[in-house]
Structure 1
Amino acid sequence: MSSVPTPTSPLPNVRRVVTGHNPSTGQSLILADTTQPPTFWSPDSVNAKFDLYYTGSVPAVNDAELNMHIENKKLKESDEHLKHNGWVDEIAEHPELISPQGSTFRAFEFAPGSVSPMHRTISLDYGIVAKGTIVLEMEDGSRVTLTEGDTLVQRGGMHCWRNETSEWGRMYFVGLGAQPVKVNGQELKEEWRVAK
């Protein structure tokens, strides 16, 4: 990932709140309340992404901080930063777009006039447009325009995103690892290419 390019988005960075449990009492609490910094796929990219959450399995483990509390006594002094609540923010350790056996939660921005690569991931993705108007284009050329509040279920299809407006757009996605699509006995693989 690279530093912030120009032009920069006028949209605010994404605030993320993560809940958990007190390891001694089991009471629910706030583990993290942060504003996530944007990251970029390449130095040329103007479209930011915000890494929000990652799980390595489904069903997810919702009590990792309770198990970590037990291990805290074994941590070295250099690992003191982990002792604040025992929770480890896994998304920081997993830059890959999709968790093959789990889930990812990210926000993506779309600069005015921008086009994403045409791509397929081995995933089931749930998306919602939070800001702006975004065009979904499929491999066969079919297109649909999505506006604020519209939702999308992307089932491993080859697609790209276009912002054909003069305003910035933002979408939120939950990606779940999935079985590859098979056509005539052949698995469709992850693929990235320049959109036309």
Structure 2
Amino acid sequence: MTTSGPIKDFPAPGLRDPFRYITGHNEKGQGVFLQTDHGDHRAQMLGGAAAQNIIYSAPSNPIQLTDNADLEFARKNRPAVHVPNGVCVRMIDFAPGTESNMHRALTLGIGTVCEGEVELSVDSGEKRVLRPGDVSINRGAMHRWRNTSSDKPARMIFTMLDVEPIIVNGKALEFDMGYLMKEYSEYADGEGPNKKA
């Protein structure tokens, strides 16, 4: 990624720290707020090109909510790009001018722009500019993200769902993160410097 100004931590300067409100049930079976916080496993990404905040993750789909099993998993494990057979919801703040390399995760990636403008390019050369509220549904396509602003951060939230092998023209697509894999490889097993015990 290239950037005109590094982000030292989540949230990026100028963007608010989002609250996360997690519901559950009390002993009467009534809905309650179990926790109010700012998310798990925040970290600078790629030397300040971006910063992330894991909003939610679970190891299976359907998700096991009984006895808050999902919340215990999310607290203890920082996911890699996605959780095999599960779900990962990641908020990313992009530094001004940041541009990723072309990459592909073998997932269904649902990305929503929260702040700023972000250009999405695919390897055919097609491009779209996404603005707040716009959503991309990436079905395994090679793609690149670029914060179009040279002086303001941008924010997106991504829901990453595991998929069956993706076959295009009779050939299985391959996972290809390029140098972005440096950010995720050490967390493939839930380990790494930001893992919470």
Task: Return the TM-score normalized by structure 1.
Answer: 0.77
**RMSD (CA atoms):** 2.3
d(CA) in 2 for partners of 1:14 and 1:100? 27
d(CA) in 2 for partners of 1:122 and 1:105? 15
Q: Does structure 2 retain, via aligned residues, the 8 Å contact 1:20–1:63?
A: no
Instruction: Give the direction of change, closer, same or farther, for the CA distance of 1:108–1:60 in structure 2 (3 Å limit).
Output: same
d(CA) in 1 for partners of 2:43 and 2:146? 19
Match of 2:43 among 39, 43, 47: 39
Shift of 1:190: 1.3
Q: Equivalent residue of 1:118, what SS?
A: coil
Q: Equivalent residue of 2:19, what SS?
A: strand
Shift of 1:153: 0.7
Q: Structure 1: any 5+ residue segments left out of the alignment?
A: 69-85
Task: Return the TM-score normalized by structure 2.
Answer: 0.77
Task: Give the aligned residue type for 2:80.
Answer: E
Number of equivalences: 170
Q: Equivalent residue of 1:40, what SS?
A: strand
Q: Does structure 1 retain, via aligned residues, the 8 Å contact 2:21–2:36?
A: yes
Task: Give the aligned residue type for 1:176.
Answer: L
Aligned match of 2:96: 112
**Greater gyration radius:** 1
Q: Does structure 2 retain, via aligned residues, the 8 Å contact 1:156–1:180?
A: no
Pair 1:29 & 2:32 matched: yes
Match of 1:95 among 79, 95, 100: 79
Task: Give the aligned residue type for 2:163.
Answer: A
| Identity across matched positions, percent | 29
Match of 1:128 among 98, 112, 125: 112
d(CA) in 1 for partners of 2:172 and 2:161? 18
Match of 1:10 among 2, 10, 14: 14
Task: Give the aligned residue type for 2:168.
Answer: V
Shift of 1:91: 5.2
Q: Structure 2: any 5+ residue segments left out of the alignment?
A: 1-6, 181-197
Q: Equivalent residue of 1:64, what SS?
A: helix
d(CA) in 1 for partners of 2:75 and 2:142? 25
Q: Equivalent residue of 1:120, what SS?
A: coil
Shift of 1:10: 1.8
d(CA) in 1 for partners of 2:140 and 2:67? 30
Q: Does structure 2 retain, via aligned residues, the 8 Å contact 1:21–1:63?
A: no
